[in-house]
Structure 1
Amino acid sequence: MIYSISKAQPDEALPQHLLLLADENPDLIAVYLPHSESFLLKVDNQILGVCLIQQKEQIGEIMNIAIEPAFQGQGLGKALLQHVIGFAREQGLQRLLIKTGNSGIGQIALYQQQGFDLVAVNYNYFLEAYPQPIWENGIRCKHQLVFEIAFS
Protein backbone atom coordinates (compact mmCIF):
# COMPACT_ATOMS: atom_id res chain seq x y z
CA MET A 1 0.00 0.00 0.00
CA ILE A 2 1.43 3.35 -1.01
CA TYR A 3 0.92 6.03 1.62
CA SER A 4 2.23 9.47 2.48
CA ILE A 5 2.77 11.08 5.87
CA SER A 6 2.94 14.84 6.29
CA LYS A 7 2.19 17.60 8.77
CA ALA A 8 -1.38 18.76 8.59
CA GLN A 9 -1.89 22.17 7.02
CA PRO A 10 -3.18 24.87 9.40
CA ASP A 11 -6.55 24.98 7.62
CA GLU A 12 -6.84 21.20 7.19
CA ALA A 13 -9.64 19.55 9.17
CA LEU A 14 -8.55 16.65 11.33
CA PRO A 15 -10.64 13.48 11.35
CA GLN A 16 -12.56 13.72 14.64
CA HIS A 17 -13.67 10.09 14.49
CA LEU A 18 -10.02 8.99 14.48
CA LEU A 19 -9.10 11.32 17.34
CA LEU A 20 -12.02 9.86 19.33
CA LEU A 21 -10.91 6.34 18.44
CA ALA A 22 -7.62 6.98 20.26
CA ASP A 23 -9.08 9.09 23.06
CA GLU A 24 -12.74 8.71 23.97
CA ASN A 25 -12.83 11.96 25.97
CA PRO A 26 -13.62 14.88 23.60
CA ASP A 27 -13.01 17.38 26.41
CA LEU A 28 -9.40 16.20 26.78
CA ILE A 29 -8.89 16.30 23.01
CA ALA A 30 -10.13 19.89 22.97
CA VAL A 31 -7.49 20.79 25.57
CA TYR A 32 -4.44 19.25 23.87
CA LEU A 33 -5.35 19.63 20.19
CA PRO A 34 -4.58 23.39 19.91
CA HIS A 35 -1.09 22.82 21.37
CA SER A 36 -0.19 19.84 19.20
CA GLU A 37 1.50 19.32 15.87
CA SER A 38 -0.60 17.05 13.67
CA PHE A 39 0.59 14.42 11.23
CA LEU A 40 -1.68 12.75 8.71
CA LEU A 41 -1.22 9.44 6.95
CA LYS A 42 -2.98 9.42 3.58
CA VAL A 43 -3.64 6.82 0.90
CA ASP A 44 -4.95 8.20 -2.40
CA ASN A 45 -5.47 11.57 -0.69
CA GLN A 46 -7.79 9.93 1.90
CA ILE A 47 -6.84 10.41 5.56
CA LEU A 48 -6.41 6.99 7.15
CA GLY A 49 -4.27 7.93 10.14
CA VAL A 50 -3.61 10.80 12.50
CA CYS A 51 -0.98 11.50 15.15
CA LEU A 52 -0.69 14.49 17.49
CA ILE A 53 2.55 15.35 19.24
CA GLN A 54 3.40 18.04 21.76
CA GLN A 55 6.83 19.36 22.68
CA LYS A 56 7.86 20.96 25.94
CA GLU A 57 11.51 21.84 26.31
CA GLN A 58 13.42 18.65 25.37
CA ILE A 59 10.52 16.23 25.86
CA GLY A 60 7.88 15.23 23.35
CA GLU A 61 4.64 13.40 23.97
CA ILE A 62 2.44 11.63 21.49
CA MET A 63 -1.02 12.71 22.59
CA ASN A 64 -3.12 10.78 20.09
CA ILE A 65 -2.46 8.23 17.36
CA ALA A 66 -5.04 6.27 15.39
CA ILE A 67 -5.56 4.40 12.13
CA GLU A 68 -8.90 3.93 10.38
CA PRO A 69 -10.24 0.61 11.76
CA ALA A 70 -10.67 -1.04 8.33
CA PHE A 71 -6.96 -0.43 7.65
CA GLN A 72 -5.51 -1.52 10.99
CA GLY A 73 -3.10 -4.44 11.04
CA GLN A 74 -1.48 -3.46 7.72
CA GLY A 75 1.57 -1.65 9.12
CA LEU A 76 0.18 1.88 8.76
CA GLY A 77 0.21 2.57 12.50
CA LYS A 78 3.78 1.35 12.71
CA ALA A 79 4.78 3.60 9.79
CA LEU A 80 3.07 6.63 11.35
CA LEU A 81 4.70 5.96 14.72
CA GLN A 82 8.14 5.54 13.12
CA HIS A 83 7.65 8.81 11.22
CA VAL A 84 6.83 10.70 14.42
CA ILE A 85 9.78 9.10 16.26
CA GLY A 86 12.01 10.34 13.42
CA PHE A 87 10.46 13.80 13.67
CA ALA A 88 11.16 13.88 17.43
CA ARG A 89 14.79 12.93 16.81
CA GLU A 90 15.14 15.64 14.15
CA GLN A 91 13.73 18.19 16.61
CA GLY A 92 16.56 17.32 19.01
CA LEU A 93 14.26 15.99 21.70
CA GLN A 94 15.85 13.95 24.48
CA ARG A 95 12.81 11.80 25.16
CA LEU A 96 9.49 10.90 23.61
CA LEU A 97 6.55 9.70 25.70
CA ILE A 98 3.39 7.84 24.75
CA LYS A 99 0.62 6.77 27.10
CA THR A 100 -2.03 4.09 26.72
CA GLY A 101 -4.47 2.06 28.73
CA ASN A 102 -3.69 -1.27 30.33
CA SER A 103 -6.24 -2.93 28.02
CA GLY A 104 -4.59 -1.85 24.74
CA ILE A 105 -2.69 -5.07 24.12
CA GLY A 106 -1.89 -4.29 20.48
CA GLN A 107 -0.71 -0.77 21.26
CA ILE A 108 1.45 -1.96 24.14
CA ALA A 109 3.18 -4.47 21.86
CA LEU A 110 3.65 -1.93 19.05
CA TYR A 111 5.19 0.69 21.33
CA GLN A 112 7.66 -1.77 22.81
CA GLN A 113 8.55 -3.15 19.36
CA GLN A 114 9.46 0.41 18.35
CA GLY A 115 11.83 0.88 21.29
CA PHE A 116 9.58 2.38 23.97
CA ASP A 117 10.09 1.20 27.56
CA LEU A 118 7.45 1.17 30.29
CA VAL A 119 8.50 3.84 32.81
CA ALA A 120 5.40 4.50 34.93
CA VAL A 121 1.85 3.46 35.71
CA ASN A 122 -0.85 5.97 36.64
CA TYR A 123 -3.17 3.74 38.62
CA ASN A 124 -6.95 4.26 38.20
CA TYR A 125 -6.39 7.07 35.67
CA PHE A 126 -9.18 5.93 33.35
CA LEU A 127 -11.59 5.35 36.24
CA GLU A 128 -11.11 8.98 37.33
CA ALA A 129 -10.66 10.84 34.01
CA TYR A 130 -13.36 9.16 31.89
CA PRO A 131 -17.05 9.18 32.83
CA GLN A 132 -17.93 5.94 31.03
CA PRO A 133 -16.17 2.59 31.46
CA ILE A 134 -13.80 1.66 28.64
CA TRP A 135 -13.51 -1.98 27.61
CA GLU A 136 -10.96 -3.27 25.12
CA ASN A 137 -9.98 -6.86 24.35
CA GLY A 138 -12.41 -7.97 27.06
CA ILE A 139 -10.39 -6.02 29.68
CA ARG A 140 -11.60 -3.01 31.65
CA CYS A 141 -9.27 -0.08 31.03
CA LYS A 142 -8.29 1.24 34.44
CA HIS A 143 -4.63 2.22 34.46
CA GLN A 144 -2.57 4.46 32.20
CA LEU A 145 0.77 3.01 31.13
CA VAL A 146 3.54 5.51 30.34
CA PHE A 147 6.13 4.49 27.77
CA GLU A 148 9.27 6.40 26.86
CA ILE A 149 11.97 6.26 24.24
CA ALA A 150 15.21 8.08 25.01
CA PHE A 151 17.36 9.49 22.23
CA SER A 152 21.13 9.51 22.60
Structure 2
Amino acid sequence: MQQYHFIKIHTPDEIPFGLLLLADETKEAIKKYIYRSDVYLLKNKNNEVIAVCALYQPDADPLEIKNMAVARRCQRKGIGSFLIEQIKKIAKEQGIRTLIVGTGDGSLGQQRFYKRNGFTAYDTRKNFFIKNYPAPVIENGIPLKDMILLKQDI
Protein backbone atom coordinates (compact mmCIF):
# COMPACT_ATOMS: atom_id res chain seq x y z
CA MET A 1 0.00 0.00 0.00
CA GLN A 2 2.76 2.37 -1.01
CA GLN A 3 0.32 4.91 -2.47
CA TYR A 4 -1.04 5.79 0.98
CA HIS A 5 0.15 8.22 3.65
CA PHE A 6 -0.69 7.48 7.29
CA ILE A 7 -0.33 10.65 9.36
CA LYS A 8 -1.20 11.90 12.82
CA ILE A 9 -3.18 15.12 12.95
CA HIS A 10 -2.28 17.90 15.35
CA THR A 11 -5.21 20.33 15.36
CA PRO A 12 -8.92 19.77 16.02
CA ASP A 13 -9.90 21.47 12.75
CA GLU A 14 -8.34 18.53 10.88
CA ILE A 15 -10.74 15.99 12.45
CA PRO A 16 -12.90 14.44 9.67
CA PHE A 17 -16.20 14.14 11.54
CA GLY A 18 -18.04 13.06 8.39
CA LEU A 19 -15.83 10.01 8.08
CA LEU A 20 -15.92 9.25 11.82
CA LEU A 21 -19.72 9.19 11.62
CA LEU A 22 -19.46 6.02 9.53
CA ALA A 23 -18.35 4.22 12.71
CA ASP A 24 -20.26 6.13 15.39
CA GLU A 25 -23.84 7.35 15.46
CA THR A 26 -23.59 11.00 16.45
CA LYS A 27 -21.12 13.86 16.52
CA GLU A 28 -21.92 14.26 20.23
CA ALA A 29 -20.83 10.68 20.90
CA ILE A 30 -17.60 11.25 18.97
CA LYS A 31 -16.85 14.44 20.90
CA LYS A 32 -16.85 12.42 24.15
CA TYR A 33 -13.54 10.79 23.16
CA ILE A 34 -12.06 12.47 20.11
CA TYR A 35 -10.26 15.33 21.86
CA ARG A 36 -8.55 12.88 24.24
CA SER A 37 -7.51 10.58 21.41
CA ASP A 38 -4.68 10.53 18.91
CA VAL A 39 -6.26 10.81 15.48
CA TYR A 40 -4.61 9.39 12.37
CA LEU A 41 -5.62 9.87 8.76
CA LEU A 42 -4.95 7.69 5.77
CA LYS A 43 -4.61 9.73 2.59
CA ASN A 44 -4.42 8.43 -0.96
CA LYS A 45 -1.95 9.57 -3.62
CA ASN A 46 -4.27 12.53 -4.42
CA ASN A 47 -4.04 13.63 -0.76
CA GLU A 48 -7.71 12.76 -0.14
CA VAL A 49 -8.59 11.43 3.32
CA ILE A 50 -9.94 7.93 2.79
CA ALA A 51 -9.75 6.52 6.33
CA VAL A 52 -9.41 7.63 9.94
CA CYS A 53 -8.73 6.06 13.31
CA ALA A 54 -8.90 7.48 16.82
CA LEU A 55 -6.68 5.82 19.41
CA TYR A 56 -7.15 6.32 23.14
CA GLN A 57 -4.64 5.36 25.81
CA PRO A 58 -5.76 6.14 29.35
CA ASP A 59 -2.92 4.13 30.92
CA ALA A 60 0.36 2.54 29.84
CA ASP A 61 -1.51 -0.45 28.41
CA PRO A 62 -3.80 -1.19 26.52
CA LEU A 63 -4.37 1.05 23.49
CA GLU A 64 -8.03 1.33 22.55
CA ILE A 65 -9.32 1.85 19.04
CA LYS A 66 -12.20 4.24 19.75
CA ASN A 67 -13.15 4.77 16.12
CA MET A 68 -11.95 3.42 12.80
CA ALA A 69 -13.66 4.24 9.52
CA VAL A 70 -12.91 3.80 5.83
CA ALA A 71 -14.68 5.88 3.18
CA ARG A 72 -17.48 3.82 1.63
CA ARG A 73 -15.94 3.92 -1.85
CA CYS A 74 -12.72 2.45 -0.44
CA GLN A 75 -14.18 -0.34 1.68
CA ARG A 76 -13.47 -4.03 1.02
CA LYS A 77 -10.05 -3.24 -0.47
CA GLY A 78 -7.86 -4.20 2.50
CA ILE A 79 -7.60 -0.66 3.87
CA GLY A 80 -9.09 -1.56 7.26
CA SER A 81 -6.55 -4.36 7.68
CA PHE A 82 -3.81 -1.94 6.60
CA LEU A 83 -4.97 0.45 9.36
CA ILE A 84 -4.79 -2.35 11.93
CA GLU A 85 -1.18 -3.02 10.90
CA GLN A 86 -0.34 0.68 11.26
CA ILE A 87 -2.00 0.78 14.69
CA LYS A 88 0.07 -2.25 15.76
CA LYS A 89 3.25 -0.43 14.69
CA ILE A 90 2.26 2.63 16.75
CA ALA A 91 1.49 0.42 19.76
CA LYS A 92 4.80 -1.47 19.50
CA GLU A 93 6.75 1.81 19.23
CA GLN A 94 5.09 2.93 22.48
CA GLY A 95 5.72 -0.36 24.26
CA ILE A 96 2.04 -1.26 24.30
CA ARG A 97 1.26 -4.97 24.34
CA THR A 98 -2.52 -5.05 23.93
CA LEU A 99 -5.03 -3.48 21.57
CA ILE A 100 -8.73 -3.35 22.44
CA VAL A 101 -11.81 -2.31 20.51
CA GLY A 102 -15.54 -2.34 21.17
CA THR A 103 -18.36 -2.89 18.71
CA GLY A 104 -22.08 -3.47 18.88
CA ASP A 105 -23.62 -6.84 19.61
CA GLY A 106 -25.46 -6.59 16.29
CA SER A 107 -22.44 -5.27 14.35
CA LEU A 108 -21.77 -8.65 12.80
CA GLY A 109 -19.57 -7.41 9.95
CA GLN A 110 -17.35 -5.43 12.30
CA GLN A 111 -17.02 -8.38 14.65
CA ARG A 112 -15.97 -10.61 11.73
CA PHE A 113 -13.49 -7.97 10.52
CA TYR A 114 -11.76 -7.68 13.89
CA LYS A 115 -11.67 -11.45 14.41
CA ARG A 116 -10.17 -11.87 10.92
CA ASN A 117 -7.50 -9.39 11.99
CA GLY A 118 -6.49 -11.33 15.10
CA PHE A 119 -8.84 -9.98 17.79
CA THR A 120 -10.81 -12.19 20.16
CA ALA A 121 -13.89 -11.32 22.21
CA TYR A 122 -13.16 -11.02 25.91
CA ASP A 123 -15.92 -9.03 27.62
CA THR A 124 -19.27 -7.26 27.21
CA ARG A 125 -20.38 -3.81 28.34
CA LYS A 126 -24.01 -4.51 29.19
CA ASN A 127 -26.61 -1.98 27.96
CA PHE A 128 -23.90 0.30 26.54
CA PHE A 129 -25.96 1.51 23.60
CA ILE A 130 -29.09 1.95 25.69
CA LYS A 131 -27.24 4.07 28.29
CA ASN A 132 -25.09 6.13 25.92
CA TYR A 133 -27.31 6.99 22.96
CA PRO A 134 -30.55 8.98 23.14
CA ALA A 135 -32.17 7.09 20.25
CA PRO A 136 -32.02 3.39 19.42
CA VAL A 137 -29.02 2.36 17.31
CA ILE A 138 -29.97 -0.25 14.74
CA GLU A 139 -27.55 -2.28 12.61
CA ASN A 140 -28.47 -5.13 10.32
CA GLY A 141 -32.04 -4.72 11.55
CA ILE A 142 -30.88 -5.43 15.10
CA PRO A 143 -31.27 -2.83 17.87
CA LEU A 144 -27.87 -2.60 19.54
CA LYS A 145 -27.85 -3.17 23.28
CA ASP A 146 -24.43 -4.39 24.46
CA MET A 147 -20.91 -3.53 23.39
CA ILE A 148 -18.73 -6.52 22.58
CA LEU A 149 -15.11 -5.94 23.60
CA LEU A 150 -12.33 -7.56 21.59
CA LYS A 151 -8.59 -7.60 22.20
CA GLN A 152 -5.35 -8.60 20.59
CA ASP A 153 -2.01 -9.16 22.23
CA ILE A 154 0.81 -7.84 20.07
- Does the alignment reach a TM-score above 0.5? yes
Shift of 1:21: 1.6
3-state SS of 1:22 partner: coil
Instruction: Report matched runs for 1:1-152 at 5 Å.
Output: 2-10=3-11, 13-43=14-44, 44-55=46-57, 56-151=59-154
* Deviating more after overlay: 99-108 vs 43-52: 99-108
Runs of 4+ in 1 over 4 A off after TM superposition: none
**TM-score, normalised relative to structure 2:** 0.89
Residue deviations 1:31-87 (CA, integer Å, cap 9, x gap): 211111111011120001100101122221111110111221111111112211221
Shift of 1:114: 1.4
Unaligned runs of 5+ in 1: none
Identical aligned residues as a percent: 34
Unaligned runs of 5+ in 2: none
Q: How many residues align?
A: 151
Shift of 1:12: 5.5
Shift of 1:131: 1.1
